[in-house]
Structure 1
Amino acid sequence: MLRAFAIGVALAGLAGCKPPATDDYVARVALDTAQSHPSEPLASPDTEGALWVPGEGVRILYGKPGEAPLMALACEDGGEGRRIHITRFAAADPRAKAILALIGNGHVVRLNVDATWNGRAWLWEGYAAADDSRMEVLTGPRRIEATIAGAGSLELNPSQQPRLLVEACLRDPRSPAVQEATAPA
């Protein structure tokens, strides 16, 4: 009995050598194994004079004439139906994930976006079904604000082009009426 008691005391003493788990456990990780931090946030671009223009296929680009585009919307066949492909031309950290908030025309929409390599840079891309009622954010006559944390806030000036693209995507994008609606002027 005395022997069992002595073993118990010895084990309790050994257990006291290990500190208990705490909230500051991360502080004990070596600095060389810590993950790197995300990139510095980007400033919101100036969109005065920016507009939507038709691109190739059923696609529209947003930006200032003569400058790199800031955003693109395209209609694609997503296998389960047509979908709107949204690209925000802003540098993204490799394989990052974020939320794109679209605010305007009486709607607030949050879409998942992923950093995607396009062959030259990591950009933000996401998708929504063309018949998703949340896409009504793009169909109204008012300004839209598109925000991704760290990529700034992008003001989308009022235009009928996003509405025409969404409507075209709901129909057959190969039809002559759709081609005419999204053709360069």
Structure 2
Amino acid sequence: MLRTALLATLLLAGCNPPASDEYVARVGLEERQAPGEPIDTPDTKGAVWAPGSRADRILYGKPGERPLFVLECRTDGREAQIVYTRNADADPDAQAVLALIGNGHVERLWVDATREGKRWLWRGSVAADSRQLEGLTGGGRVEATVPGAGSLILNASGLPGRLISECRRRAGPPADRA
């Protein structure tokens, strides 16, 4: 009986083709692009937080250069969101985690590659009242890291905390957000 079962198993296994290097060619899989080259950690000596062209936006970078990081408050009257952008090249449609370390907090925020003109940048958002933003509200130095986009040191400033507090106020008290 055992021999019969073993023989049947071997015969059935012989009905399927073995693994093959040509398998990919047979099923016609799409060729995948390799991820872009990681960038070096940017030099942030002399970088500062500054108000943007609108009151609901602040920029971080060296004066006269492209911003390295942007925080923005977006509200619809009932809900407020903080949108954060790591202004570094991203692979199209990629997803990652932005790690924030500073002011006694370690947080992980989702970021997606978002098309802006001809470039793809890392962008994400979170509710303005999220505890995940507390690392940015302390006024001290924060390290913001996205895999492949380097580790960005955000020099100490009270501007991120003020923007987040103002954004939370715009949304109204939690009871009004039902």
- TM-score tier after normalising by the smaller chain length: 0.7 to 0.9
User: In structure 1, what is the equivalent of residue 175 of structure 2?
Assistant: none
User: In structure 1, what is the equivalent of residue 149 of structure 2?
Assistant: 151
1:76-129 deviations in Å (ceiling 9; x for gaps): 016761010001100000010000001100001101110001123100100011
What is the root-mean-square deviation of aligned Cα atoms in Å? 2.8
User: In structure 2, what is the equivalent of residue 40 of structure 1?
Assistant: 37
Where do residues 1-185 of structure 1 align in structure 2 (5 Å cutoff)?
13=11, 15-19=13-17, 28-30=23-25, 33-57=30-54, 58-77=56-75, 81-172=79-170
TM-score (structure 1 length as normaliser): 0.78
- Unaligned regions of 5+ residues in structure 1, if any? 174-185
Cα distance in 1, alignment partners of residues 37 and 74 from structure 2: 32
- Unaligned regions of 5+ residues in structure 2, if any? 172-178
- Shift in CA distance, 43/79, structure 1 to aligned 2, threshold 3 Å: farther
TM-score (structure 2 length as normaliser): 0.81
Query: 1:54 deviation in Å?
Result: 0.2
Query: 1:13 deviation in Å?
Result: 3.9
Number of residue pairs the alignment of both structures matches? 164
- Shift in CA distance, 70/131, structure 1 to aligned 2, threshold 3 Å: same
> Is the partner of 1:171 in helix, strand or coil?
helix
Runs of 4+ in structure 1 displaced over 2 angstroms? 9-15, 17-21, 25-34
Give the share of equivalent positions with the same residue, in percent: 53
Report the AA paired with residue 43 of structure 1: D
- Shift in CA distance, 50/29, structure 1 to aligned 2, threshold 3 Å: same
Cα distance in 1, alignment partners of residues 22 and 138 from structure 2: 50
Query: 1:135 deviation in Å?
Result: 0.9
> Is the partner of 1:163 in helix, strand or coil?
helix
